[in-house]
Structure 1
Amino acid sequence: MKLEQFSPEDRQIWVRAFYGFNPEEAGYIGFTHEAQREDMFRKMKDGDLVLIYGAVDSLTQVDLQRQILGFLEIKLERCLDVDRQNEASKQWKLDHSFEDRWTYGIKVVRAWRVINRVHIKTIAPKSYDNKYRFERTTKAVLLEQDEKRRAFSHPVYQVNVFGEPPIGEDDLRKGTMEEVLKPSKGIPPSFGDRNSKHEDGENHLYLMKLSTNAEMLLGNSGPHVGKALVKIGRSNDPLRRLKEVNGGFPERAVCRWALMHHQPFEDGNTAHTYETELKARFAKEFTSQAGEFYTGEWGAIERAFQLFCFSKMPKILAAPGKAKGVK
């Protein structure tokens, strides 16, 4: 089962203390000793969540100590710290002489910051018991069922994870932890008066492809190695959307998204319906990387997109005509 298909009930939640919450800079949960990592690897499952709270330490900002900071979703893949850190995260470890700490990692694939911070004891009074203090700081402690229910009810907003495909601002999910774990769907189009009038009209399904193989963003090990990484979605202006998505990359980045194909449909509701159907089909035929991202053989992905769009084009019967094909 793919991670985004797991229901909240399928997931365990663990609690861990740390000096802060920075998944945008470090896409892993780290352990100082390999034996600690292996112990957690045996206990954890794909899709488990790790609730991070601020450690009681001088390195933690004072107002963050004992406060819940965010959730990390893990995938049971081993990694090393240097494979899932940006330069700022590496420098922080060097500055504090922590080169030999949190070296052995388990991958994090999605993350959410909490909206209203509360004391960890409010969420997990039993797991926060002092007898678990060492385990909370070196490995993680499993929440009990009543603690898990409280954790799922907390409001959060999604953030990007270093080493994972960047998610556009419009696609980052917000809600209670339980709500954001429900399978992703495209946002239904809406029309009417805001600050200006947003008219319905032609909308496109699009297929974007990363200019390098998937391992550039997903790491150098796993079934995605050598495969294409693609993004599918809907927009009334695919070229503008391409610019927005690539805006998340540094100017000197060695990869970019490329708009490979886009197919226009008559209005937003039609395109939205087809987008939802296309995501479900891609989830069955290729490997979902959460949200609207998928990996697989490029030729097969391209054919699947083109055939899907062709199947949705109006059929012209008993008269000559030329339909507008996939661009």
Structure 2
Amino acid sequence: MANFPTVQDGLFVGAWGDRPLDPLQLDIARFLVEKAKRHTRTTYQEVGEAIGWSHPTGRGLGKNLDVIVRYTLDNGFPPLTAILVERGEKYPPSNVIEQVAKDYAYRDIDEAQESVFAFDWSSVPELFAVVERVPAGREVWLTSFWGFDPGDWGCIGFADEPRRSRYLRLSRPGALVAIYVTKGRGPEEMRGKVVGVLEVSHQAGHAREFISGDRWAEKESDPEYRGKWLFAVRATRAWRIIPEDWKPVEELFPTTYRDSNPEFIGSYGVKVLEAEAHRLSQLQVYETPVYGQAGQIDGTLHELATALSPSRAVPPATGPYWVGETDGPKYLYILELKGDTAAYLGRPAGQVEGLTIIKVGFSRSPLSRRDQIQSAYPLGQFEWAVRYPESTIDPPPYRNAAVAIAGEDAMKKRLVEEGAEVLGGEFFLADDGLVIRTWYAGKFAADSANAAAGST
């Protein structure tokens, strides 16, 4: 009796479970199964084209085919690779025929091929192409970038046409591509972490069509990057994961990442398993512009699963930036504007000595609030920083917006009562001591409201 394979912790394993099929080998095996179901042979060239293999004749596939041979043998399946032949031939190469004769009891290679055609491959569901989905019905893929800036880089890129063709064949329009920043490059705080999500169309083109002019010029002026990733597929929407929810790729997608080496993920992209895709859908995100895409975006903070609904009409902004978020756990925060305060306000230095510009408020993600406000400023000497809380590693301490509002109101009250200058909205000019007292006044009020809400 065949020893049929099982799925253990997301790995596809058989009798020799210490050597699972990796994603590329699964692609090959699934392609061969599709041919077997149609009772047709296939060629090395066809396999190479189907999986996006770099060599046009399929040269170099041997090691992966050897793994599939051992897998089928050890699980009692017919010799799947027996239907893989050279172009124009009916039978596989002589070394494959010899291997089949050695390992199986067929009379000849014709009988071996017929056994592949006759076998009920539906009894091995793991060898069928599986579409993994998040609750909104989207496929999720994983790849790596050296950063995440869809406003200037509105696509995913591949090194050559076969790799792009593989992605287009295996994916569906509107698939989500989770982006992690490579561990050896990119901003230090992002390296190895999943930081954003792209919605990717099936519109293929040259990369320069989907990248801003200055970024394209920057890339092409660097000898290390010139001429790379030219085979592109356009992104249509994008979301940034709030920094508080950035997770190492091996933590968020442990099986998907473990089953593929990083070079394969970055070069080809891999599908994410359903359970791991669900983890992604629970992260807090906000939409961000994509280069070349017109129309307003919704900067509301909410779970990715909610963000995947069609774009809603967005109310017009009432200031230089606009952002909202759904109710739920919150942090209080105080942001501080770093830079020459006197120059920013257009006042003599002596009038503002020892004073700083701050913004008070509450959010699920103070770091995202900082980034969204900063995005309304041109690059220069002024930069917003999170003064409080000092850390967002722990979960938000306040159960909902109503509790957090009590803390925000207390901060504003303290600032006004102690003479801080109101600069409009939630912005104030205050000395360092008052900033500290304001923070603790807000915390005390929010902690008290939190306790009262918990006792009702």
TM-score by length of 1: 0.52
| Residues 214-271 of structure 1 deviation map (CA, whole Å, 9 limit, x = unaligned) | xxxxxxxxxxxxxxxxxxxxxxxxxxxxxxxxx9xxxxxxxxxxxxxxxxxxxxxxxx
Written as runs of structure 1 = structure 2, the 5 A alignment for 1:192-211 is none
The answer to whether the 8 A contact 2:207-2:232 is kept is yes
15 and 54 in structure 1: CA distance in 2 versus 1, 3 angstrom threshold: same
Q: Which amino acid aligns with 2:275?
A: D
**Which whole-Å CA distance do the structure 2 matches of 1:70 and 1:7 have between them?**
16
Q: Helix, strand or coil: the match of 2:247?
A: coil
88 and 8 in structure 1: CA distance in 2 versus 1, 3 angstrom threshold: farther
The answer to whether the 8 A contact 1:7-1:182 is kept is no
Q: Does 1:139 align with 2:268?
A: yes
Find the counterpart in structure 2 of residue 105 from structure 1.
232
Q: Helix, strand or coil: the match of 2:257?
A: coil
**Which whole-Å CA distance do the structure 2 matches of 1:131 and 1:185 have between them?**
37
> Where does the alignment leave 5 or more consecutive residues of structure 1 unmatched?
1-5, 190-246, 248-327
Choose the corresponding residue for 2:254, options 105, 125, 131. Answer: 125
167 and 186 in structure 1: CA distance in 2 versus 1, 3 angstrom threshold: closer
Q: Does 1:184 align with 2:311?
A: yes
Find the counterpart in structure 2 of residue 114 from structure 1.
241
Find the counterpart in structure 2 of residue 151 from structure 1.
280
79 and 187 in structure 1: CA distance in 2 versus 1, 3 angstrom threshold: closer
Question: Whose Rg is larger?
Answer: 2
20 and 111 in structure 1: CA distance in 2 versus 1, 3 angstrom threshold: same
For these two proteins, the number of residue pairs brought into alignment is 183
Q: Which amino acid aligns with 2:241?
A: V
Offset at residue 93 of structure 1 (A):
1.1
The answer to whether the 8 A contact 2:140-2:177 is kept is yes
Tell me which protein shows more strand as a share of its residues.
Answer: 1
Q: Helix, strand or coil: the match of 1:167?
A: coil
The answer to whether the 8 A contact 2:220-2:227 is kept is no
Q: Which amino acid aligns with 1:62?
A: E
**Which whole-Å CA distance do the structure 2 matches of 1:47 and 1:86 have between them?**
22
160 and 182 in structure 1: CA distance in 2 versus 1, 3 angstrom threshold: same
**Which whole-Å CA distance do the structure 1 matches of 2:154 and 2:304 have between them?**
19
Q: Helix, strand or coil: the match of 1:108?
A: strand
56 and 95 in structure 1: CA distance in 2 versus 1, 3 angstrom threshold: farther
**Which whole-Å CA distance do the structure 1 matches of 2:158 and 2:274 have between them?**
25
| Residues 192-223 of structure 1 deviation map (CA, whole Å, 9 limit, x = unaligned) | xxxxxxxxxxxxxxxxxxxxxxxxxxxxxxxx
Find the counterpart in structure 2 of residue 311 from structure 1.
none
Q: Which amino acid aligns with 1:92?
A: E
| Residues 108-141 of structure 1 deviation map (CA, whole Å, 9 limit, x = unaligned) | 0000000021111221001111643222110211
The answer to whether the 8 A contact 1:132-1:141 is kept is no
Q: Does 1:67 align with 2:193?
A: yes
Written as runs of structure 1 = structure 2, the 5 A alignment for 1:278-297 is none
Identity %: 24
Q: Helix, strand or coil: the match of 2:163?
A: helix
**Which whole-Å CA distance do the structure 1 matches of 2:276 and 2:203 have between them?**
26
Offset at residue 166 of structure 1 (A):
4.0
Q: Which stretch of the first structure deviates more once superposed, 178-187 or 151-160?
A: 178-187
The answer to whether the 8 A contact 1:8-1:181 is kept is no
TM-score by length of 2: 0.38
Q: Which amino acid aligns with 1:54?
A: V
9 and 185 in structure 1: CA distance in 2 versus 1, 3 angstrom threshold: closer
Offset at residue 49 of structure 1 (A):
0.3
The answer to whether the 8 A contact 1:16-1:136 is kept is yes
**Which whole-Å CA distance do the structure 2 matches of 1:131 and 1:148 have between them?**
16
Find the counterpart in structure 2 of residue 87 from structure 1.
213
Taking only aligned residues, the RMSD between alpha carbons, in angstroms, comes to 2.4
Q: Which amino acid aligns with 2:214?
A: A
139 and 114 in structure 1: CA distance in 2 versus 1, 3 angstrom threshold: same
**Which whole-Å CA distance do the structure 1 matches of 2:211 and 2:248 have between them?**
28
The answer to whether the 8 A contact 2:134-2:140 is kept is no
Choose the corresponding residue for 2:147, options 17, 20, 24. Answer: 20
Tell me which protein shows more helix as a share of its residues.
Answer: 2
**Which whole-Å CA distance do the structure 1 matches of 2:167 and 2:148 have between them?**
20
The answer to whether the 8 A contact 2:252-2:280 is kept is yes
Q: Which amino acid aligns with 2:175?
A: D
Written as runs of structure 1 = structure 2, the 5 A alignment for 1:252-267 is none
